[in-house]
Amino acid sequence: MLRYPKNEMSRSSGPSARCRRTPWSWALSLVAAVGLLASPAPAQEIDPAPLTGPDVKAASAILVDAATGTVLWEKNSQVRRPMASTTKIMTATLLLESDRLDEWVPFTEHARTTPYANFNARPNEKVRLRDLLYAIMLRSSNDGCVAAAEHVAGSPWKFAQDMTAKAKALGALDTNFVTTNGLYHPQHYSTAYDLAIMTRYAMQNPLFNEIVATKSKTISRTLNWKDTVVTTHNKFLSRYPGADGVKTGYVKEAGRCLVSSATHQESGAPWRLIAVVLNSPDMYTESARLMDWGFQNFQPVFVARKGESVGMATVQGGSEEQVPLVAASDLKMVVRREFGNDTEREIRMREGLQAPVLRDQVAGTLVALVNGRAVGQVDLIAARPVTQVWTAGMGPWTGASMGFLALLLGPRYVRKVAKSARRRRRRLPAGRREPDSQWPGHG
pLDDT in tens, 361-371: 999 999 998 88
Question: Where does 12-24+307-382 sit in CATH, by number?
Answer: 2.60.410.10
* pLDDT of 219 over the 70 cut: yes
Averaged pLDDT, 166-178: 98
Nearest to 132 by CA among 155, 164, 100, 161: 100
Tell which residue, 252, 238, 199, has the closest CA to residue 92.
Answer: 199
Distances (CA, A) of 174 to 77, 112, 162, 168: 11, 31, 15, 8
pLDDT tens figures, 303-336: 999 999 999 999 999 999 999 999 999 998 899 9
CA 439 to chain centre: 77
Please tell me whether residue 195 adopts helix, strand or coil conformation: helix
> Per-residue pLDDT tens for 98-115?
999 999 999 999 999 999
Q: Which of 80, 301, 34, 58 is nearest to 177 (CA)?
A: 80
Average pLDDT over residues 219-237: 97
The catalytic position among 10, 29, 39, 85 is 85
The answer to whether residue 140 is catalytic is: yes
The residue among 223, 177, 162, 200 whose CA lies nearest residue 84 is: 177
Q: What's the average model confidence in pLDDT over 27-53? A: 46
Which option is the CATH number for 43-301: 2.40.30.10, 3.40.50.720, 3.40.710.10, 3.90.1150.10?
Answer: 3.40.710.10
DSSP-derived secondary structure letter, 176:
B
Active site residue 88: yes
Among candidate residues 75, 88, 247, 332, the one labeled active-site is 88
Give the model's pLDDT for residue 418: 52
pLDDT for the residue 401: 53
**Distance from C-alpha of 291 to C-alpha of 261, rounded to nearest angstrom:** 8
For residue 413, name the pLDDT band (cuts at 50, 70, 90).
low
Instruction: Give me the phi and psi of 118, to 5 degrees please.
Output: -135, 5
In this structure, what DSSP letter does residue 439 have? Answer: S
Buried b (16+ CB within 10 A) or exposed e, 173-189: ebbbbbbbbbbeeeebb
Q: How far is CA 172 from the centre of its chain?
A: 15
User: DSSP state, 15?
Assistant: -
Q: Is residue 211 within 8 Å of 227, Cβ to Cβ?
A: no
Q: Is the pLDDT of residue 200 over 90?
A: yes
Q: Which of 160, 198, 163 has the alpha carbon at shortest distance from 179?
A: 160
- Domain ranges in the chain are 12-24+307-382, 43-301, 399-438
Active-site pick, 10, 140, 190, 260 = 140
- CA 242, distance to chain mean position in Å, is 23
Which stretch of DSSP H or E encloses residue 169?
Answer: helix 156-170
pLDDT band at 433; cut points 50, 70, 90? very low
Task: For residue 292, give the 3-state DSSP assignment.
Answer: helix
Residue 5: closest CA among 262, 378, 297: 378
Reported as a pLDDT band with limits 50, 70 and 90, residue 15 is: very low
The pLDDT value recorded for residue 373 is 85
Of 8-17, 121-130, 166-175, 177-186, the poorest mean pLDDT is in: 8-17
8 A C-beta contact, residue 284 and residue 353: no
- Is 166 among the residues known to form the active site? no
Mean pLDDT on 223-235: 97
DSSP string, 234-290: -THHHHSTTEEEEEEEEETTTEEEEEEEEEEEETTEEEEEEEEEES-SSHHHHHHHH
442 burial via Cβ count (<10 Å: 0-12, 13-18, 19+): exposed
Q: What are phi and psi of 332, to 5 degrees?
A: -130, 150
Mean pLDDT of the chain: 84
122, 223 in Cβ contact below 8 A?
yes
- Find the farthest-apart pair of alpha carbons in the chain and give their distance in angstroms, rounded: 119
Closest residue by Cα to residue 199 from 240, 231, 157, 246: 246
